[in-house]
A = this chain, B = another copy of it.
């Protein structure tokens, strides 16, 4: 265990890291993340679901409660969107002190083409009443968190549910959802962190008071201390990540690169506004990278920067800025749960 960085992760954190799945950062090369490389965070167990008997119920404060089979949903108008998803806890393991939860470094990301029907179609068919304030989405995954036994559930403000690109989705990258991504049906909320895109969707309820389930009020909050209720986490903060250049060693994953011209490349996204700029730094000197148009509003944009790499030890970094003027900090403000840490990625490399 010589030559490792002083840090100490518990067996329980490791247990989460070996079952949840990050996207290896070299996969930033792909416009669409191969399905098996997309990040994955599952709170409880992946439920064992049967498409043939699946039912999606729409109820609560609606005129016409509905019970839809998978075939009923598949018969609705379909729409395909390339969407970047990121876990709200991405970067948690780089906050100190860190929360006890899935210890992501940078890799809880992925972009897929999702196919489904606009949530709005489903809600219109049910007739959401005028005094509705939120819509609650419940999945089939069941467990205990915060001492509360529950099916995973999250809500969205009504204005967000009317966005046509918010989907009840049944396919990912052109094929039916794999079990771990929510088969047979899931919610997909472009622009928001992944916790909102409820997988294994069984129930949609219109409600007249804000939802106070555990996953809404007990977690996914920007809390400054344990007693602070905190503001809710919602849209993805602006972020750029790079493909680590060169090749790694095993097991440290230090990078080695030959001297000469190399293209530093990666992707950038923001849930709040389009990305307008990406910068790359070598040893702290920032330069503008070239950013390609994003394939869709909520999919990441590719960026590139040409580097004349000189022999020696260097630290590369990248940061994005969006049209609302948000940019990435060198250190993100600490919060209790380690949410939304979009601090600048740094990649040490040895050029030789």
Are the C-beta atoms of B12 and A247 separated by less than 8 Å?
A: no
**A73 interfacial by beta-carbon distance below 8 Å:** no
Choose, from A21-29, A62-70, A229-237, A319-327, the stretch at the interface: A21-29
**A45 interfacial by beta-carbon distance below 8 Å:** yes
**Cα(A9)–Cα(B93), bound, Å:** 13
Are the C-beta atoms of A8 and B9 separated by less than 8 Å?
A: yes
List B contacts of A157 (CB < 8 A). Answer: none
Interface string of A21-62 (1 = CB under 8 A from B): 110111101100011111010111110100000000000000
Are the C-beta atoms of B37 and A35 separated by less than 8 Å?
A: no
List B contacts of A21 (CB < 8 A). Answer: 21
Choose, from A101-109, A115-123, A126-134, A184-192, the stretch at the interface: A101-109
Please, how many residues of chain A have a CB less than 8 angstroms from a CB on the other chain? 64
**A311 interfacial by beta-carbon distance below 8 Å:** no
Interface string of A257-269 (1 = CB under 8 A from B): 0000000000000
What distance in Å separates the Cβ of A344 from its nearest Cβ neighbour in chain B?
A: 18
**Cα(A8)–Cα(B25), bound, Å:** 25
Chain copies in complex: 2
Choose, from A140-148, A162-170, A285-293, the stretch at the interface: A140-148
- Nearest CB in chain B to that of A219: its residue: B250
Are the C-beta atoms of B178 and A36 separated by less than 8 Å?
A: yes
Are the C-beta atoms of A14 and B4 separated by less than 8 Å?
A: no
List B contacts of A209 (CB < 8 A). Answer: none
Q: With A14-B14, A37-B180 in contact, do A144 and B250 touch (Cβ < 8 Å)?
A: yes
Are the C-beta atoms of A144 and B249 separated by less than 8 Å?
A: yes
**A179 interfacial by beta-carbon distance below 8 Å:** yes
List B contacts of A43 (CB < 8 A). Answer: 250
- Nearest CB in chain B to that of A181: its residue: B36
Are the C-beta atoms of B29 and A249 separated by less than 8 Å?
A: no
Q: Which of B5, B34, B42, B104 contacts A18 (CB 8 A)?
A: B104
- Nearest CB in chain B to that of A36: its residue: B36
Are the C-beta atoms of A178 and B34 separated by less than 8 Å?
A: yes
List B contacts of A142 (CB < 8 A). Answer: 247
Q: Which of B1, B24, B104 contacts A46 (CB 8 A)?
A: B24
**A252 interfacial by beta-carbon distance below 8 Å:** yes
Are the C-beta atoms of A46 and B27 separated by less than 8 Å?
A: yes
List B contacts of A252 (CB < 8 A). Answer: 12
Which A residues fall within an 8 A CB radius of B?
A: 1-2, 4-5, 7-19, 21-22, 24-27, 29-30, 34-38, 40, 42-46, 48, 93, 97, 100-105, 107, 142-145, 149, 178-181, 244, 247-253, 256
